[in-house]
Structure 1
């Protein structure tokens, strides 16, 4: 008999879910539910999952779900034949006990023995029992899947509430008030959170055409909710509708206006409304005297509004509101939002006006009272350390002017932490410092550096705009890394509370992408002494950390593990050379001679590692007695000057390609020469020749890492 197949709909109706978690909750609910049903054989691997998530519901629609999973044959290994059967071939008590525990009738030993199957299992024979396990029914399988989906929801914070009986308590993200489970047009009688599944749900709090809403079929879910409940159930569709309305509203305003782009804000607003209605609002233009970052942040963070920018990217006095209601006359909604935003903008203007009454430099002394870290002192002490490192970097990169500018920018970089604006909006640190520095009459190079010293703040973020900013940004990140490594606060696993991986990658990006002629070990050396005796020496661990982060980043860019290992094995001091070295290694690996030379290089490395004493790369030509070793020495003499010249000129690709000429003499050497000769002098001379070869071949990268 064919098992009935139909589409499945499961919905959990709850009170308003946390908006920042809604998208993740909806995706996790559907994914785990589908995975669990698939594991139980109730749905095929190609079944289509459609997750739904709105402020008051989590739901999932899954295609092609069986009413009952297919029966399946199971082969169970019981025990070795020697343990399960006696000398006469009859079942032993141990075997009978095992079979009884599996629910097998053991009253007829002869019939039992006939069903047992013997087959090799390693060195001995074992007994196997074949049976058929009945497929799980949907009501049982869905109950298990639903329980697991709820258990594994990534709930940010659990609530505890009582059920209607007054005794039972439930732990969930929000109180649940309804459960729907439809297989086609049939209700699946599952239970969850004190609820029993049915076919009724609820729509929009205010605009639903009827309540409750009856769902006739699993496939009618989204359509019925939209028609009778005024709800767009799909998170993705609701998000797309908001984007469409935002663009439409901006076009109505005209002047090339566009809403600010912010995916996180768009996701959060999508999680706050069930049927979006975008409205255009405005505020007094006098507020535009305040830096636009302040106004944008207060509108986004506090009110979830979308500020409108003009064609040049400047903030306008209009903003967009995504309302959850659609009245015939929206004027009251518009006026209410305009009234609500006005005090927020007035606060921002007040903070800005108050902050400018004091020069930025006057706040520096106050940093001595702000604790940075209980083992590393105050922010004031930190500013001194960053300044010392910044001066050292500036001295390597430029003249006295750069040193003075970097010193001043480092001194003022943290001063805005004590302003009212940054106290209210910590996200504006650095940005406000730049505004206040310009107000104090400082030049743009210093002001930009104050803003940019936090960059890059995340993957793909911009780098500092000018040399002053680079000096201070490098100094700030190095001070953080050296200090925290020096007190043992290292990242562990996925835990990195001080974002040290991000800081290290920021240093790496600046050194490489800005082509800075700075040695990484020298930078670390310059940063360590500024801490005095507060820290233990972190050089070794921190250096390894930098190269590890660089390796991860390069692999993410598409370089192979072999290419990255070959280049970073030498730990090039100037990271700006790494891309050229990688390009050279990739070009070398494409040469037909590369595999043989890489293998030979690996062999040379192993021979030199096993030598009794350190081997110097020098040869006495008079002791080269075999033609093959003479030929290799001559080939080295011919190739090395050109390879060294290309290396010195920074043409790493040409330097490596010169080495291709060594393939034939290297192969002949290993075919015809015994390196570990009995004669000690002869052996030492041949090891010296191999050391010369090793040195010539591994200046750009460790080519042995390319060997298969």
Structure 2
């Protein structure tokens, strides 16, 4: 390989879409380096450093060769019988093939023969010259640009050269104005997007000390941009610098960043890593070329508005960072990340404070207006809002949710498991559930939620308290959307749990009933999230309910709606599939075999899932487990082939000692295992069955199940059926077999 130097490639463009910047930067550098490695211009272990700022995408690749090493190539030409005639002379087909490779008849003598399947083939050995950097980088650059994950392509015009005057159309994420390609200090003559590579770029729009910024060599890129261009080119370095400033300014205000909420137990390093993944931090990093964090404030009167409203408008509309006090309450100070660093920052601070004031005033106006009308007076308006053309209005949906929630609450009361106490309290529980379900969607009709849909449920809770409804109802209205995302908390009260279940089940049954199912990454009604929410709530044990029965309760609420099909079984399949994924993602102690063993039996009481998983994990560690799992799998296959042939066990038909011993062992072991299972001790139940290993092994060694005598065969199948049922109450142990 020829001389090596580090390589720097930069595309200088107009402001890139901030939410896509990090992906664009990583993709540009990744594909460019991948292509260089594939062509032999860069080693497999070459270090790739991506750069991405609002106006540039760049990549630095170490140890790139000026020319790739020549490569020996052996090409299969054709079978010997086709390439050579009976006398060994080359056929016209072979000569034509050689000509296509730049060789002539003189090369025939040097061809190699080698086996190729059943026949023998001719192979042509040659040396393929290595690609030079200019050609290789051009191919890599074209590929990197073509494969950019551009959210929306932009078309713009470029004026062509003087020899062929006119305009050409270019498609790219944003208009490009500069291209840099440096191999060491040498410019690599590549072109892209109508641009020719050079060794200069541009820095900060207002604060660069020189323009253009000249780059001495590839390694000087980041340092020169920082010094002469006032730009931190590295996305990650810029993000870390911004996070450092944000945290320092928050401490100066004796406050904590709102994005740091619930991070009290983390170290500073852990907090920084979490913040690097924060959506607001990433977006603001993509908006500035050199961050400068400033402290601003707004009038304290706005703090009378629910803090969720103020936080959302500051973050979503203005990209500001709200500050919380030690109690987690919003303060009237906030942080702004400026893209300029003037000596006197008063104008920047004052401008941002003036900008945020109307936003907060709008939020206050919406809040004041919404409270003039009680939630109960908005219920009728739900009948004027279409939910789905096949499922009716939000009002009709609300009635279904109420029916489901009331039924669940009544069943809970009857079982006296979760809600205990005097009859009046039980009646009040059902009444609270009905009221919360009736009012849960009314905040959709408020001005605040109309402006900020993300606040649905949250604002309903505030308005319920203003209407002097109980905290139980207010919490239920606020929590009925929970869990909103993976890792989100569950509803805080039993009333909230019931309404959340009812709301999610109504959505799932309705959408499955009309065949409106998720496809690929499209899930407009968040059915995957709803299914996971149902399973998470049920697994806590706060509501011990048979899942299939729960789905049928929801199906019953659609009596007045013509569903295309019965959604029960497809919906159960969907829920268990989501549950499987959740268990695999969140349980480091379990693997796919454990989860599949538990879910194969479709446990309808999801509150038992974790206990069953624990039992399976403990069982698998027993020395008897592999043999019993293998035997269980063998039994399952036998029973599957002989379905319907089993019979009740008749001890008088036992012939072999091994079948008598197995039956006796089962009589001694299974009742105790069943008693443990019925008592909820699934681990002990499976452990008790470990004693069956020896008699089970002896049975298969000494007994012919498919005996010629039909009665004998049926009796043995019946014995295996009893054994299979006993062994698989906790989980399908055959799933543990290797």
TM-score by length of 2: 0.93
* Distance of 1:314 and 1:361 partners within structure 2: 29
Could you tell me whether the CA contact under 8 Å between 2:645 and 2:714 is conserved in 1?
no
2:391 paired with 1:364: no
Against the structure 1 CA distance between its residues 257 and 460, is the aligned structure 2 distance closer, same or farther, given a 3 Å change threshold?
closer
* Residue in structure 2 matched with residue 560 of structure 1 by the alignment: 591
2:444 paired with 1:433: no
CA displacement 1:309-368 (0-9 Å, x = unmatched): 111111111111111111111111111111111111111100000000000111111111
CA displacement 1:394-425 (0-9 Å, x = unmatched): 22223332221111111111100010001111
Against the structure 1 CA distance between its residues 78 and 228, is the aligned structure 2 distance closer, same or farther, given a 3 Å change threshold?
same
2:703 paired with 1:676: no
Displacement of 1:259: 4.9
Which region of structure 1 is more displaced relative to structure 2, 374-383 or 244-253? 244-253
For this pair of structures, how many residues does the alignment match?
A: 701
Could you tell me whether the CA contact under 8 Å between 2:257 and 2:321 is conserved in 1?
no
* Residue in structure 1 matched with residue 646 of structure 2 by the alignment: 615
Pairwise mapping of residues 434-513 of structure 1 onto structure 2 (< 5 A)?
434-513=461-540
Pairwise mapping of residues 393-412 of structure 1 onto structure 2 (< 5 A)?
393-398=408-413, 399-412=426-439
SS at match of 1:458: coil
CA displacement 1:134-168 (0-9 Å, x = unmatched): 11111111111111111111111111111133510
Displacement of 1:462: 0.8
Could you tell me whether the CA contact under 8 Å between 2:479 and 2:500 is conserved in 1?
yes
CA displacement 1:263-302 (0-9 Å, x = unmatched): 1111111111111111111111011000011111111111
CA displacement 1:94-114 (0-9 Å, x = unmatched): 2222222222223x3xxx332
* Distance of 2:695 and 2:259 partners within structure 1: 65
- Match for 1:582 among 582, 603, 613? 613
- Match for 1:651 among 657, 676, 681? 681
- Match for 1:311 among 323, 326, 329? 326
- Match for 2:153 among 140, 150, 158? 158
Displacement of 1:124: 1.7
Could you tell me whether the CA contact under 8 Å between 1:360 and 1:437 is conserved in 2?
yes
CA displacement 1:557-601 (0-9 Å, x = unmatched): 332121111111100011111111111111111111111111111
* Distance of 1:431 and 1:450 partners within structure 2: 8
* Residue in structure 2 matched with residue 126 of structure 1 by the alignment: 121
SS at match of 1:351: helix
TM-score by length of 1: 0.97
Could you tell me whether the CA contact under 8 Å between 2:95 and 2:104 is conserved in 1?
no
* Residue in structure 1 matched with residue 448 of structure 2 by the alignment: 421
SS at match of 2:99: helix
Displacement of 1:51: 0.7
2:574 paired with 1:545: yes
Which region of structure 1 is more displaced relative to structure 2, 661-670 or 79-88? 79-88
* Residue in structure 2 matched with residue 196 of structure 1 by the alignment: 196
* Residue in structure 1 matched with residue 731 of structure 2 by the alignment: 701
* Distance of 1:136 and 1:500 partners within structure 2: 52
* Distance of 1:586 and 1:267 partners within structure 2: 40
Pairwise mapping of residues 12-161 of structure 1 onto structure 2 (< 5 A)?
12-106=11-105, 108=106, 112-161=107-156
2:639 paired with 1:639: no
CA displacement 1:495-541 (0-9 Å, x = unmatched): 32222111111111111134531111011111112122421211111
* Residue in structure 1 matched with residue 417 of structure 2 by the alignment: none
* Residue in structure 1 matched with residue 403 of structure 2 by the alignment: 388
* Distance of 1:422 and 1:612 partners within structure 2: 58
* Distance of 1:397 and 1:125 partners within structure 2: 78
* Distance of 1:312 and 1:8 partners within structure 2: 51
* Distance of 2:431 and 2:258 partners within structure 1: 41
SS at match of 2:331: strand
Could you tell me whether the CA contact under 8 Å between 2:646 and 2:715 is conserved in 1?
no
* Residue in structure 1 matched with residue 418 of structure 2 by the alignment: none
* Distance of 1:390 and 1:79 partners within structure 2: 74
CA displacement 1:605-641 (0-9 Å, x = unmatched): 111111152524x311111121111111101111011
Could you tell me whether the CA contact under 8 Å between 2:482 and 2:491 is conserved in 1?
yes
Pairwise mapping of residues 311-330 of structure 1 onto structure 2 (< 5 A)?
311-330=326-345
2:632 paired with 1:604: no
Q: Structure 2 unaligned runs (5+)? A: 161-165, 261-274, 414-425
* Residue in structure 2 matched with residue 353 of structure 1 by the alignment: 368
**RMSD, aligned α-carbons:** 1.3
* Distance of 2:662 and 2:591 partners within structure 1: 31
Displacement of 1:62: 0.9
* Distance of 1:251 and 1:692 partners within structure 2: 68
SS at match of 2:159: coil
2:255 paired with 1:246: no
SS at match of 2:397: helix
- Match for 1:286 among 301, 308, 322? 301
Against the structure 1 CA distance between its residues 699 and 514, is the aligned structure 2 distance closer, same or farther, given a 3 Å change threshold?
closer
2:353 paired with 1:338: yes
